[in-house]
Amino acid sequence: MTELNCQEFVEQVTTFLEGALDADAEQRFIDHLALCDGCDRYLDQIRQTVQALDGLPAKTISPATREALLNTFRSQS
């Protein structure tokens, strides 16, 4: 079983976070993580990125469209 290098590690973070690595691959991933501060930080930054995106406000429909839809709703009921 060959060891994972950092360049391989960074391409597996999502599969790891999704819990979709097979048992061997997951073991290699974790073994690398335990020994490499750079990859530990990379994985943490991916987690932080996901967290930062959570609930990010979106551009929304125009007030005029909103008003028109409310009017339609009102007239339908």
Partner 1 sequence: MEEFPPDEELVARLRKGDEAAFALVLDSWSGGLLRLARSFVSTEESAAEVVQETWLAVIEGIAGFEGRSSLKTWVYRILTNTAKRRGTREHKVVPLSSAGDGPTVDPARFRPADAPMPGHWWEFPPSWPTPEQGVLGSEVRALLAAALDGLPDRQRAVITLRDVEGYGSDEVCELLEISSANQRVLLHRARASVRGRLEQYYTQEANP
* Among positions 1, 7, 22, 23, the unique one binding partner 1 when judged by CB under 8 A: 7
**Residue 65 found at the interface with partner 1 (CB under 8 A):** yes
- Cβ contact 36:7 at 8 Å: no
- Cβ contact 42:10 at 8 Å: yes
d(CA 62, CA 59): 9
**Residue 23 found at the interface with partner 1 (CB under 8 A):** no
Q: Which residues of the chain form contacts with partner 1 (CB under 8 A)?
A: 5-8, 10-11, 13-15, 18, 20, 36-39, 41-42, 45-46, 48-50, 52-62, 65-66, 68-70, 72-74, 76-77
